[in-house]
Amino acid sequence: MEGNAGKPATETPRAGRSSWQSELRSWLSNPLLVAVVAALLGSLLIPSITRKWQNHQKALEIQTGLVSEMSQSVSSAVASSRFIAAGLVARSAQAPGAEQQAWNDLYREWTTSGATLGAKLRAYFGPTVASDWQAFNYALTDFVALSAQARPGSGRQAQVAEIYDYRKQLPGVRLSTTQWRQLAQPPTSAGFQNAYAELARGFLARQDELVQQVLSSHVAGF
């Protein structure tokens, strides 16, 4: 008797659960509900996901475009400066004044591209990234200026002093006091060329750091 009395008590919850599950399945399979859910996905969720993906792609395009422009401008400025400082342009050119013209073109191209990149970096990545680039820009401009033949009043000592102040930001650059002094002299000695080559490697290494900074930064507006 006790067993029979307890049996309905154990079966009733199961029957109720089964009925509830059946109703839930029926409700979920309702064509109207399916249509409403599909409409919500189509009008809200999917466009949101698409928008986020498009923003990510646009931000990535901005980053890759800028770092490509940075690398190209810096590499060109460094390589051209070394060619001019080593006298390669003067020896290979036949026209008088070709070296001076090459230096003028180099200086104009670098200062223009450096300023343009600075404006873009500030707009997309904010003041910190832009400030780091600006300090680099100033120092590399001095590096470019040192490739020219020394002239009275050319300000080479001031240019060397400005690069010296930036030296801790140039990976691998370990110049002696004598080498820093040689950089203020005309670019004809072996001492100048050795020190200038080390600076060149330091500027290229610093450029790589700035590129990584841009790639790891958030693009404003995306």
What percentage of residues in the chain have a pLDDT greater than 70?
78
What are the residues whose beta carbons fall under 8 Å from the beta carbon of 80, sequence distance 6 or more?
102, 106, 147
Query: pLDDT tens, 134-144?
Result: 999 999 999 99
Predicted pLDDT of residue 92? 83
Q: Is the pLDDT of residue 8 over 90?
A: no
In a domain, 33, yes or no: no
Residue 79 tokens read as: 């390589």
Q: Which of 159, 179, 169, 157 is nearest to 204 (CA)?
A: 169
Task: Give residue 33's pLDDT band: very low, low, confident or very high (50, 70, 90).
Answer: low
What percentage of residues in the chain have a pLDDT greater than 90?
63
State how far the Cα of 213 lies from the Cα of 215, in Å rounded to an integer.
6
How many domains does the chain contain in total?
A: 1
Predicted pLDDT of residue 204? 98
In a domain, 116, yes or no: yes
In a domain, 183, yes or no: yes
In a domain, 95, yes or no: yes
Q: Which of 57, 62, 58, 61 is nearest to 117 (CA)?
A: 62
Q: Is the pLDDT of residue 113 over 50?
A: yes
User: Higher-confidence residue: 136 or 12?
Assistant: 136
Q: Is the pLDDT of residue 41 over 70?
A: no
- If one counts every other C-beta atom within 10 angstroms of the C-beta of residue 172, the result is 10
Domain limits at 76? 64-215
In a domain, 39, yes or no: no
Q: Is the pLDDT of residue 222 over 90?
A: no
Predicted pLDDT of residue 85? 95
In a domain, 182, yes or no: yes
Q: Is the pLDDT of residue 53 over 90?
A: no
In a domain, 17, yes or no: no
In a domain, 49, yes or no: no
Report the mean per-residue pLDDT for the chain: 86
4-8, 119-123, 182-186, 197-201: range with lowest mean pLDDT: 4-8
Q: Which of 116, 181, 185, 119 is nearest to 147 (CA)?
A: 185
Q: Is the pLDDT of residue 83 over 70?
A: yes
